[in-house]
Copies of this chain bind each other. A is one copy, B any other.
């Protein structure tokens, strides 16, 4: 990784990370995890390259995890995007979770009892 992002430099990348392991949405690694406790819920970050991986993302939400999905790769294909949004909405409906778009390229899907607040903190309205 010739040019490390600022976030990477602050949070620290894993020394042996594969350069292409994280594509465009580069996850800044944070090595100093407080404690390795088993978590009931995970925030999972996903990059949707094609529809074939949609099932695994839906499974994550069904398992009770929050998924932040980068749709930059598929959003140009309107048919694919519509299908993805429709299926994710169905998951949110099924499990009484929530779904919202975040910025231009992300969709957040949450499991039961976790809702997405539409009121943005720190913006002009705050």
Contact = CB atoms under 8 A, between A and B. Distances in A.
B121 A20 contact: no
A120 to B, nearest CB: 5
Interface of A: 5-8, 10-11, 18, 20-30, 32-35, 37, 39-49, 53, 56-57, 60, 65-68, 75, 81-82, 85, 89, 92-93, 96-105, 107-108, 110, 113-118, 120-126
Contacts of A20: 124
Contacts of A22: 120, 123
B48 A122 contact: yes
A75 B6 contact: yes
A122 B47 contact: yes
Given A34-B92, A48-B122, A81-B6, A103 B42 contact: no
